[in-house]
Amino acid sequence: MKRIGIISDTHSTFDEPLRKFLAEVDEIWHAGDIGSVELADEIAAFKPLRAVYGNIDGGVARRIYPQFASFRCEGVQVLMTHIGGYPRHYAPGVAQRIQQLRPKLFIAGHSHILKVQYDPVYDLLAVNPGAAGMYGFHKVRTALRLTIDGEDMRDMEILELPRG
C-alpha cells in the first residue's frame, strides 16, 4: 500500500501548506511545469519524486524528466504527462499511448483546473491535480493525495488553498 501525492503546475512554488498536505505520502508525482530543477530537487529531498516536464520547463529539466512517464505502482499501471487533456478530449497522440499502455490511472496537468473523471472508453481514472503554484489564472491552488493498494485506488483527498 502506498500513499501518493499528485501535484502539477507548481511554477517554482513548494511552500509550507503543500509540504504539510504531502507530509504523510510515500511518493510525490508531479505532472509538469515544475518551474526549475532546483525546485524538483527540493521536492525530491522532501519525498521520492516522479515527474514529467511541462511546457514552461527548460532544457535541463527536459533532459532530466521525460515528456511521458509510464510506470506501475502496486498493481496499477500509470501514465503521466503534462499536456494530456481529459476523457474524450485527449491531446494529440495521448489516446494512442493510452491504447498501447493500458493505464488504469492517467495523470495530466497544464489546465490549472482540478478534474477527476472516470473514462469508460479506456476504463481508467483520469486525474488533473490543478495548479499547486501561484502563477496562472486559477484562483484556488490545488493538490491531491490518494492510496493505492494492489489494484485499488481509494481515499482521494483534495487540498484547496487561496492563491494568496
Query: Would you state the pLDDT for residue 135?
Result: 87
pLDDT at site 62: 97
Residues of the chain short of pLDDT 50, as ranges, are: none
Distances (CA, A) of 12 to 1, 48, 56: 30, 18, 11
Contact call for residues 29 and 7 (beta carbons, < 8 A): yes
Predicted local distance difference test score (pLDDT) of residue 83: 98
Residue 20 has a pLDDT of 98
- The whole-angstrom separation of Cα 6 and Cα 28 is 6
Please provide the DSSP assignment of the chain as one string.
Answer: -EEEEEE---TT---HHHHHHHTT-SEEEE-S----HHHHHHHHHHS-EEE---TT--HHHHHHS-SEEEEEETTEEEEEESS-EETTEEPTTHHHHHHHH--SEEE--SS--EEEEEETTTTEEEEEE---SS-SS-SEEEEEEEEEETTEEEEEEEEEEE--
The predicted structure's pLDDT at residue 163: 85
